[in-house]
Structure 1
């Protein structure tokens, strides 16, 4: 396999070492709110101010964060590997981009993007969004964070599934394995014979489905894995 086609999925665990909390962090942003209140369309309809304030806080936190060695290693893989490398993230921060990754597929949206609830136009989000912000395309006061909430369909699924169907290697990094459809990617990749690798601090819910598991901090396991890929 001279130039394997690689699909990588990253989750909250890769950003945790950069100081961005996961769903389950005690005392973190998520712990202070119910998911139903801040990460669903119904929550936004009930209390848009709460939701906007929540994502403003997350956006400010992400703006201050810096990428770690795992982000840097994946950027190096994308730029130096002669084969295809699709980097898919469940994260809504921009740490992959800050690290130099040239192309990142944000399946759950992005904090630095705003979305119009009326016409689906997207534009760069200000650091502090406000309820009733006006869409620059249609002038409706329907701006919302460009985040895929629970009950909504993740972005770019056709492209992701197409890449998985042609993958030689699939790696999941820092993911819990309990949020679908991302948790099912390993099965799609394994079905076409791809080598499947999990790099996680703790075993995911789907760890038994992976051929190769590498426990530990992403900042340690990911650079070592990238080195091995590029060496071959």
Structure 2
């Protein structure tokens, strides 16, 4: 059976109300990326970083999966082959929409990570500076998210999925951040058909066999309907 690998980015969650890097007036617009999304920023001002992610955690808890998230979960359920979802997003909207086995390559807001021993646990709604690790008791808790300059999670697993994909789709992602920006080329080299679904074509759009332009809540359910109709 055909295997589908789907990469999602901020654009799929934006319609649920989560701000992206590029939104004016959102949480990201109030801070410099190097201050709140780098290890160096955390070392300089842990209170600022913990406060920023506490606010993001509150924001994420107040939103709901949209039609695009639910459509991908339906594709997973009804497709006769494997459907693997890889997301750059740190929210849990895919899971809330019914998806299973999602790979969070940039971590999750719901997680906490000990920078001393590497232990992971569920983050409290408000994570304080010097929060102790439940495993080693060191005051070194941080959000379990991948910051700029750090290696994304599960890269070997993701490349294995790309190497066996028959169809690769990138949904709501800018295509500018590596290594995810190179996934389309990995999939094409493995012989997969490729499709980009986005509000507008990205700089890397020429690497895709097909491009679908429009809001994710409209384009993704329609795309899923078309795929399932071909298999029925």
Structure 1: 5+ residue runs without aligned partners? none
Which residue does the alignment assign to 1:58?
56
Matched residues in 2 for 1:189 and 1:27: separation? 36
Where 1:171 maps in the other structure, the secondary structure is: strand
TM-score, normalising length: structure 2: 0.98
Which residue does the alignment assign to 1:178?
176
TM-score, normalising length: structure 1: 0.98
Question: Which of 20, 23, 27 is residue 21 of structure 2 equivalent to?
Answer: 23
Which residue does the alignment assign to 1:115?
113
The number of residue pairs the alignment matches comes to 230
Shift of 1:67: 0.5
Structure 1's consecutive aligned runs of 4 or more residues displaced over 6 angstroms after TM superposition are: none
Contact 1:79 1:102 in 2 (8 A): no
Matched residues in 2 for 1:28 and 1:89: separation? 21
Shift of 1:81: 1.2
Matched residues in 1 for 2:200 and 2:39: separation? 31
Which residue does the alignment assign to 2:122?
124
Which residue does the alignment assign to 1:209?
207
Where 2:112 maps in the other structure, the secondary structure is: strand
Matched residues in 2 for 1:171 and 1:148: separation? 22
Coordinate RMSD, CA, aligned: 0.6
Contact 1:196 1:212 in 2 (8 A): yes
Of 199-208 and 108-117, the range deviating more from structure 2:
199-208
1:153 aligned onto 2:151: yes
Matched residues in 2 for 1:26 and 1:107: separation? 25
Matched residues in 1 for 2:197 and 2:72: separation? 13
